[in-house]
Amino acid sequence: MEQIKPILEALLLASDAPLSVEKIRDILPEAERDEINRQLAELVSEYEARNGGFHLCAVAGGYQFRTRPDFSAWIKKLKGARTQVLSPAAMETLAVVAYRQPVMKSEVDKIRGVDSSASVKGLLDKKIIRMVGRKDVPGKPMLYGTTKKFLEMFNLNDLSELPTLRELKELEGDSELQAHLDLKALGGNAESPTLREVKQPAGNSELPVLQESREPEDALELPAPQDLKEREGDEV
């Protein structure tokens, strides 16, 4: 197909969310998947070589034009105060969900040493986390995981791109994710987080019941509740 690259460029510029290859094929059914991927890769390289104020990123399972982090200070001046700011309690709760998902609220409470109901509700309302199923134990408690919006917020293509706890410590504050997520509540010296991505059920279908899975004992060392500082009520 001729002129596919400028068409892709126009679609990406017009889209307000990451554009997946599947969505592009819906718009351009005559274009082959391999050709779309090749042209997208070329666009990524071209914008990286240009070294301008924005670039093309693979994020949240798709592609999106984004301003470079180097220019964030000027972007903030343009936009003023951020429209969505999470409290430290919400950030900490989000960190636990991101690295332990699918996770029960009681597990989040145990790790943080404080009731996380308000933070969980706020993150659900903001569609940063979601209910992914119920645990196959008595009472079948709800399990929580992150959403596509979470990936977009932290410029991740998928959960496998989450840095390990060791990597976060070595970055010394340079990571966008580290700047937003308070990972102290996770503790330990894990080489990698335990991630179990769960597909969201379609429509209004009943949430799945997930079997309990055993994790390596050294996956994450949880701090004892008495080792955590007391905190006042959560705010999101």
DSSP assignment string, 108-136: HHHHHTS--HHHHHHHHHTTSEEEEEEES
3 or 216, greater pLDDT = 3
Q: pLDDT by residue (tens digit) across 99-126?
A: 999 999 999 999 989 999 999 999 999 9
pLDDT above 60 for 24: yes
| pLDDT above 80: residue 220 | no
Q: Round to whole Å and give the CA distance between 142 and 122.
A: 16
CATH of 88-227 given 3.40.50.300, 3.40.640.10, 1.10.10.10, 1.20.1250.20: 1.10.10.10
List the single range of 21-35, 52-66, 206-220 with lowest mean pLDDT: 206-220
Q: What is the pLDDT of residue 183?
A: 47
User: pLDDT tens digits, residue range 57-102?
Assistant: 999 999 999 999 889 888 888 877 555 578 888 988 998 999 999 9
Share of the chain above pLDDT 90, in %: 47
Q: How far apart are CA 5 and CA 8, in angstroms?
A: 5
User: What residues does each domain of the chain span?
Assistant: 4-78, 88-227
Tokens linked to 127:
């569609």
Coil, strand or helix at 53: coil
- Return the CATH number of 4-78, one of 2.30.30.230, 3.10.450.50, 3.40.50.300, 1.10.10.10: 1.10.10.10
pLDDT tens digits for range 157-213: 888 888 776 666 555 444 444 544 444 445 433 443 444 444 444 444 455 655 543
User: Do the domains spanning 4-78 and 88-227 agree at the CATH topology level?
Assistant: yes
